[in-house]
Chain A
Amino acid sequence: MLVQTLFYLFSVILVIAALAVITSRNPVYSALALVMCFVTSAAIWLLIEAEFLAVVLVLVYVGAVMVLFLFVVMMLDINLAELRQGFTRFAWLGWVTALAVIVEIAGVIWAKGGMGIDVDRAATPHAADYSNTLELGRILYTQYAYPLELAAMLLLVAIVAAIALTMRHRAGLKKQDVDAQVAVKSADRLRMVKMDAEKRP
């Protein structure tokens, strides 16, 4: 009963936050509403005992991705009139995408029998000493060890590629050579001048 109440509470917040993402005029508000979405979906995942996924969602999306997103959005000077220009032109594309997503979700819910997916069954509660994180780790590093390694390699290649593609070497760029700065001796900076003492007037 408590779990159900919490579920509906979080769902309502989630839906409102999701609506706020697309309706608010200020892009910073949109980004913050998206953060709210992630946090509430993490809470919902916690309700079905998927603690690892919930924490990782907050860690990766809230803690890393959205921070960088906010960084960029806050520094942009966004002209709303310009942004809305293509709205009617691309509206049909939006509707088609939304319809496709709705059909997909409905398909999953209705086709549960045919594909053997049991969607509306409540998660069986586990004993108090059951660890979702431990179980996930056990499966990931034994049964799915190779796919995991492949995914990791793919991500690494993507990081290297992203850096390689965006790195620019401008000619005539002045940089600080920190090694040279650290290795500097007092003799390089300071010149001792010997001169005779001046007479007092």
Chain B
Amino acid sequence: MPQTFNTHWTALPEYARSTVWILLITVTLIICVAMLTLWERKVIGWMQLRRGPNRVRIFGLLPGIGQPFADVFKLLMKEVIVPAKSNKFLFHLAPMITLVPAFAAWAVIPLSPDLVLSKADAGLLYLLSLTSMGVYGVIIAGWASNSKYAFLGAMRSAAQMVAYEIAMGFALVGVLMATGSMNLGTIVRTQGGGFLSWNWFWLFPLFAVYFISGVAETNRAPFDVAEGESEIVAGFHVEYSGIAFALFFLAEYANMILIATLTAVFFFGGWQGPAEGYALLGLGNTFLGAPSFGWLLLKVFCLLFLFLWFRATFPRYRYDQIMRLGWKALIPVTLVWLGLEMVMSAYHVGPWSRAWFN
């Protein structure tokens, strides 16, 4: 049976195989988003000594597991209300524009040593340009709704996203210097050699800046000023109901998963095992040293947990404090560290002691 499957699979034209992979990744991602919303509510519930969603079951198993699906079906049934005097075309276009970059970015992410959709050499640039497109959905949604709340919310979150993109870009320049490549597969591969040779060790400030900016970029707590019940209601998507709202929701969570995955790829060695090359107790030869998709999954899971932990822990920032943090704290940190990296690379310290840099 596997033999026949293989022959059929390789007989397919390339575009058909790519389409199958794309569909597989997208559907998996959507299910991950559904599970993430449930996990978020569960985790925050536990942190607040509640139980979280525990009613909807699937086949009588695991209380709460059916909650996201129940939510989705509820939203699908609801009417999509289009506000009077809104711009109908742009109003319907905005959720799609928000969603597309969040999914398209997965094309260049290396999932395991030999599984990546596109080995683009400008992969890092591609990611930067796609994440910068996400802001259009927000702006267009806010403007097309013909509502002051939505417009103010869009302005806020767009300004925030534009500001934090710069810090993110600078942090990635540091990664670029340490790995010498814009190809994500090569970035992961050069980090090989155990958990101390992953980028987080030598680029820790850049990792911190990148992750904080990532939280701000996705408009998550504590930087979630894009919505505020007492001031601008739900921000740019106030006027969206039913499945149109669900698309924004999906995009937000897909972006969270994307940021967590990118952090894992850039700073935690992607699919590299943590004990690779460690002779102690022969750990390097067990599964702890072997590269696999499971390691990437574990790292992404831990980073996603941080998102939820932040939300349950920190009070919200004030808007001017957010801007101050982005422009006056995070960007200078990255600039100083880039200077330090220059010195390190001149003296071949850390990642720059690897053979191919000399």
Contacts and interface: CB of A to CB of B under 8 A. Distances in A.
Given A55-B129, A58-B129, A74 B121 contact: no
Mostly helix, strand, loop or mixed at chain A's interface?
helix
Contacts of B121: 51, 131-134
Contact of B133 (A32, A51, A58, A132): A58
Interface stretch (B37-45, B135-143, B213-221, B266-274): B135-143
B313 interface: no
Contacts of A176: 320
Q: How large is the interface on A (under 10, 10 to 19, 20 to 34, 35 or more residues)?
A: 20 to 34
Nearest to B120: A51
A35 B165 CA distance: 19
A176 B125 CA distance: 37
B126 interface: yes
B211 to A, nearest CB: 21
A56 interface: yes
Contact of B136 (A56, A67, A133, A178): A67
Interface residues of B, number: 24
Contacts of A35: 136
A101 B319 CA distance: 46
A87 B60 CA distance: 71
A62 B140 CA distance: 14
Contact of B143 (A56, A74, A178): A74
Contacts, number: 61
Nearest to A131: B121
Nearest to B128: A59
A59 B125 CA distance: 8
A170 B240 CA distance: 41
A64 B132 contact: yes
How would you classify the secondary structure of chain B's contact residues: helix, strand, loop or mixed?
helix
B58 interface: no
Interface string A43-63: 000000001100110110011
Most buried by A among B125, B155, B321, B324: B125
Contact of B122 (A52, A62, A67, A68): A52
B125 A56 contact: yes
B139 A59 contact: no
B37 to A, nearest CB: 28
Interface of A: 28, 32, 35, 51-52, 55-56, 58-59, 62-64, 67-68, 70-71, 74-75, 131-134, 176, 178
Interface of B: 90, 120-122, 125-126, 128-129, 132-133, 135-136, 139-140, 143, 151, 155, 158, 162, 165, 182, 320-321, 324
Given A32-B90, A68-B162, A133-B121, 19 more contacts: A51-B122, A52-B125, A55-B129, A56-B125, A59-B128, A59-B132, A63-B128, A63-B135, A63-B165, A67-B139, A67-B158, A70-B139, A71-B155, A71-B158, A74-B143, A131-B121, A133-B122, A178-B320, A178-B324
10 contacts: A51-B120, A63-B133, A64-B132, A67-B135, A75-B155, A132-B121, A132-B122, A133-B122, A134-B121, A178-B321
